[in-house]
Amino acid sequence: MKVFQETNGQHVDSYYAASANETTSYPQLNTDIEADVCIVGAGFSGLSTAIELAENGFKVVVIEAVKVGWAASGRNGGQILGGWKTGYDEMEKSWGLDAANMFVALSEEGKNIIYQRARKYSIDADIKKGFFLAAMNQSHMRDLHHYATDMNKWAYPHETQIVSQQDMKQHIDSDAYVGGMYDMGKGHFHPLNFVLGEARAASGLGVKVFESSPVVKISGGDEPTVFTRHGKVKAKQVVLAGNCYLGNVAPALEKKIMPASTFVIATEPLGEVRAKKLLPRNMAVCDMRHILDYYRLSADNRLLFGGKTIYSGANPKSIKSAMQKDMLKVFPQLADLKIDYAWGGHIDLAVNRMPHLGEYADNVFYMQGFSGYGVVPTHIAGRVMAEKIMGKSERYDVWSNVKHHSFPGGTLLRKPGFLLGSNFFRLRDMWAAIRP
């Protein structure tokens, strides 16, 4: 698979790779082995499942095509968000009150898995609390007020506050916004260091991790088996946690997701004084457009600025200059800063933006469709998947019952169809910006 060769077996050249706490050198799978559970993919979802199972005494193998955290989990914006794009009222309407209540609880549990796992396994990932949702127009402000009512109704347990335009500089030194809302329940972290720490934790629990081992085939049944070019793993159960990279390994899964690209730049360090003026409360920030900017400070006071989701899965000609242009629209005062790193990655969009959990073939399960908000849901999905494998399927049953449609046009035509869709979102953002 060509995509796995793009970075010559290394992590993508990013600020995260340059500031990683450790390097990994897990072996390649060169033999035939057996396990209780074999997991394909060493990102957050695969490793989270592995840790939950290993903590409960299971013999687990994780097979990774390139390196631990090579894809989205080691490249993302590092924003620890609520996890679901779908609102709880909408969930209640579509799937019933019990399901909505379950997803409310799962979001909190997912964040706590991250915070508790960092403490339990001494994972140093610069975790910070605080998130700011920034409104770019009055239509966004109206949405924020609805959102605040919604949070109250669903008993959101953290400090939140709507911020008016005149108080914005206490949070973000930019004239791009008309207000916003801060939320102390969310936050940010160094995602690559977190996923590397999770691999170390899993390995310490006895999980066998293999890198440089692309899976080329799987078979389901009583003894599901995972094949690489140089070996195979016979297991009792298999979990596919490969984001949008599985391709021919599980072709039926591809129709339900759409790969899209999104990009991040890291400036040179701003210095403490300038960083504190830019984002005085050191919160992660997203704006409220459909095709949004997301940004935050790193531990060494760089601005990590992300956005520009491209639904065709392609890259702009120069990630650095395209993203710098977007950054300067929000922070023109940063024009003197050098951009030290620029990178991109793929997200697995689901039609309804809800992650899918399900059974692909007998004893072969999957998780996908984290849709660009996966930091928290991958962690809770790992726990719910592990529960299913351990024979406790209540939460898995509710989650896997969420209906998922295929992208119209199948894998061939979904991109042109979705490009039309993304232009529609752009127009919606423009209309919201000019509407009184």
Ligand X SMILES: Cc1cc2nc3c(=O)[nH]c(=O)nc-3n(C[C@H](O)[C@H](O)[C@H](O)COP(=O)(O)OP(=O)(O)OC[C@H]3O[C@@H](n4cnc5c(N)ncnc54)[C@H](O)[C@@H]3O)c2cc1C
Binding site for ligand X (CB under 6 A): 40-46, 63-66, 70-73, 75-79, 81, 214-215, 241-243, 245-246, 249, 262, 264, 294, 306, 344-347, 370, 372-375, 378
Question: What's the DSSP call for residue 333?
Answer: G
* Least CB distance to ligand X at residue 318 (A): 16
* Least CB distance to ligand X at residue 113 (A): 13
Which residue number is nearest to ligand X in terms of Cβ? 374
Phi and psi at 377, nearest 5°, equal: -60, -30
Return d(Cα 60, Cα 38) in angstroms, integer: 6
Query: What tokens does 115 get?
Result: 């915070």
User: Which of 72/205 has CB closer to ligand X?
Assistant: 72
Q: Residue 357 belongs to what H/E stretch? A: strand 356-361
Measured CA angle at 177 (ends 173, 180), to 5 deg:
95
User: Which of 81/288 has CB closer to ligand X?
Assistant: 81
The residues, any chain, with a CB within 8 Å of residue 273's CB and separated by 6 or more, are none
In order of 216, 339, 378, the CA distances from 247 in angstroms are 9, 34, 20
Q: If we measure between CA atoms, which residue out of 290, 302, 28, 32 comes closest to residue 136?
A: 290
User: Which of 215/386 has CB closer to ligand X?
Assistant: 215
User: Which of 331/373 has CB closer to ligand X?
Assistant: 373
* Least CB distance to ligand X at residue 345 (A): 3
User: What residues are paired with 366 via a beta bridge?
Assistant: 240, 358
* Least CB distance to ligand X at residue 431 (A): 26
* Least CB distance to ligand X at residue 266 (A): 12
Question: 234, 223 in Cβ contact below 8 A?
Answer: yes
User: Which of 138/220 has CB closer to ligand X?
Assistant: 220
User: Which of 9/221 has CB closer to ligand X?
Assistant: 9
Q: Residue 234 belongs to what H/E stretch? A: strand 232-240
* Least CB distance to ligand X at residue 74 (A): 7
* Least CB distance to ligand X at residue 410 (A): 20
Question: 256, 262 in Cβ contact below 8 A?
Answer: no
User: Which of 178/216 has CB closer to ligand X?
Assistant: 216
